Amino acid sequence: MTQDPRAIGAQIRMRLPQLTQLEKRVVESVMSKNDISEKTSLKAIALENNVSEAMVVKVAKKLNFSGFREFRTSLIYYKNSDVANLHAEIEPNDSSESLLEKVFKTSIQAIEETLSVLDVYQFNRAADIIFKAKHIDLYGIGGSSSVARDLSHKLLKIGIKAMVHDDAHIMMMSSSILTDDDVVIAISHSGMTKSVIEPIKLASRNGAKVIAITNYDESPLAQCADIVLNSTSQGSHLLGENAASRIAQLNILDALFVAIAQKDLKKAEQNLNKTQQAVQNLREY
């Protein structure tokens, strides 16, 4: 098997929204098995989950495996990888040292797995489109808006202006006047935020390019986008997926920022010097 083992858990989680609640329960049960091996039978999995063998095979195929055997083998391969063992649930009696280790390792896992599933071709397309855009809009609600602001701040340092919108009405108004010279970067962990999806549909109808940063490549947001850059995370019950996902999204956008700056490094460095000097007097000595 030549597949990067770091990608297997991520690719399974990215397809979970396509499954029914029963199918998700089966997947979560199989993924949580610490004793899974090539001897683990289809019949045993079906009995453990009180479902038919056909149901287990159907779930494996929905996850893009050829069948149960490939699903089982891939999961064993993943569980033997270093990244699979980084995540651990937070427990009531965890010490501060243990909490720190678990939170940091969850973020490390998110970064490692996001790197393993990131499509380099789509990444390069995104950097090229943003660099050439006449106008850049960034859409995000809640925690995603802070990720959007971080990219806007970095782009401004090198002379590229990008507007951040986190209000549904403003997003609709902005998207209504976009053209094919413009680009929208939409950030949503779930890819199901209606207040982000509706404006990008309008932006797309007006010819603007849409770049989606999301955890789920089959989500409604991803389906509306020209380019999808997937983040992935396995958060704890307390933190949720979003916390680690934001770390992964920030890394994707940091890499995009560097790729964009690299396209005209001389100009980027000149503007970086200008913007740094502009705020120099605001700092205390």
The CATH number assigned to the domain holding 45 equals 1.10.10.10
Which segments of 118-239 does DSSP mark as H helices, in order? 120-132, 143-157, 168-176, 194-205, 220-224
Is residue 162 in some structural domain? Answer: yes
Of 42, 68, 85, which residue sits at a domain end? 85
Q: How would residue 283 be classed by pLDDT, with cut points 50, 70 and 90?
A: confident
Give the range among 22-36, 47-61, 81-95, 262-276 with minimum mean pLDDT.
81-95
Is residue 284 in some structural domain? Answer: no
Q: In whole angstroms, what separates CA 2 from the centre of its chain?
A: 23
Does 120 lie in the same domain as 15?
no
In total, how many domains does the chain have?
Answer: 2
Is residue 27 in some structural domain? Answer: yes
Alpha-carbon torsion, ordered 195, 200, 113, 115, to 10 deg: -150
Does 179 lie in the same domain as 139?
yes
Residue 107 vs residues 14, 82, 246: alpha-carbon distances, Å = 17, 14, 9
pLDDT higher than threshold 90 for residue 152: yes
Q: What is the pLDDT of residues 216-230, one digit of tens each?
A: 888 899 999 999 999
Of 65, 85, 105, which residue sits at a domain end? 85
Q: In whole angstroms, what separates CA 257 from the centre of its chain?
A: 16
Is residue 184 in some structural domain? Answer: yes
Domain that includes residue 58, residue range: 5-85
Give the H or E element holding residue 93.
Answer: none
Q: What is the pLDDT of residues 244-269, one digit of tens each?
A: 788 899 999 999 999 999 999 999 99
pTM value is 0.84
Which position has the higher pLDDT, 94 or 236?
A: 94
